[in-house]
Amino acid sequence: MVVVTTTAARAQVAGSPPPKVLVIATGGTIAGVQDAPGSLGSYRAGTLTAEQIISSVPELSKHARVEAEQFANVPSTSITPAQWLTLSKRIEQVLRDRDDLAGVVVTHGTDRLEETAFFLYLTVRSDKPVVVVGAQRPATGISPDGPINLLAAVRVAASRQAVGKGVMVVMDDRILSAREVRKIYQRTGGFDVGEMGMLGVVGGSGPEFLYAPVRRHGASSEFDMRGVDSLPVVELAYSYPGGTGPRYARQPDGIAVQSNGFTRAEGEIFAALRRAGVVVATVFAGGDNMTAVRDPDAPRDTSRAAAAPVRAESPARASTSADSTRSDSLRTPPLPPAPPTVTAQHLTPAKVRILLMVALTRTKDPREIQRYFLRY
């Protein structure tokens, strides 16, 4: 990777120099250009280099000494899980090895921004700020939003207030937790966090934080990717009225299923997959489920089971048991109970898939994976 350092476009304010921030560029609309600049026409995402993006925002030098690194230059729909893994390792390494860096900003296309941000949220084990930012309009378009978004992102990454807040997404002057952020439509202001997850805002005086995430992230993460060469294969499936369940030519390691409840046929298919060793995690379609999920470590209340009377076999049933011996021998033996499904709380289906991928790098036990889903 080629690393370049921008030249400050304006004189630094007297006193201590501003913090250093590394901008890692992956492409996307924020690096997009049009064949007819200044129009509302189509554009080519991932065209401008990291250095070109930064040099177009001279105001950055007031707030940080910015370095640029080109990781990729593609539309975000071309980003793969293998690149998530490489990017996460790179960010964790540079934050660990360089004490002079205050934080990292990742420029990214918006279509897959929330997935990359959540993967980094789970796997970058550092309390230094990591901010993912993008744009809904190309750099050469009318009123591009990339420059102001990048300025706000760098200000957040350089802020001491941002330490320990986990990976964040900064769009439209809002600071959003990567756990909750989602793209809801394709225009400025199109990123949201539902009922929770907005951490603060970026105003004229800089970042102002009002909230902080409480689930595990950053330095407290258990997901060490340094020894991971590839991520487990996890599919995303949908349950729907009349559904019969998915079939796979090659069995995946896990499946995240968007469902409010299985049909009978779906239930049988997913039970068979669980018996075959596939971990199945269920999630509400909108990702807003906050149904209480039992901690596998919690003690069970067996008082009712202990108090329930044991029913003796009725004489009529007993008298027919010998007669049914021949027919019983011809019946299919009962299937063993399937391992439990994993239940997700307040995550979108795409993010459930990501958490399941990461969890499977540590264990295939659905009970232990349920604990991860309760912690993160």
Residues acting as catalytic residues? 29
Both tokens of 74, joined, read: 């593609």
DSSP string, 333-347: PPPPPPPPPEE--S-
Local structure of 176: helix, strand or coil: strand
Q: Tokens 């991932």 correspond to what residue? A: 46
Q: Which residues contact 79 (CB under 8 A, 6 or more apart)?
A: 26, 72, 108, 109, 112, 115, 116
Q: Nearest 5 degrees, angle CA 144-CA 150-CA 154?
A: 165
Residue 305, φ and ψ in degrees, nearest 5: -65, -40
Q: Which residues of 3-38 are buried (b: 16+ CB within 10 A; e: fewer)?
A: eeebebeeeeeeeeebbbbbbbbbbbbbbbbbeeee
Torsion sign, CA atoms 134, 138, 139, 144: negative
Neighbour tally for 276: CB within 10 Å: 9
Residue carrying structure tokens 């029913």: 311
| 22 within 8 A of 67, measured Cβ to Cβ | yes
Cα distance between residue 252 and residue 74, in whole Å: 27
Q: Which residues are within 8 A (CB) of 109 and not within 5 positions of it... i.e. 6 or more apart?
A: 26, 27, 28, 29, 30, 45, 46, 74, 75, 76, 77, 79, 134
Q: What are phi and psi of 198, to 5 degrees?
A: -85, 115
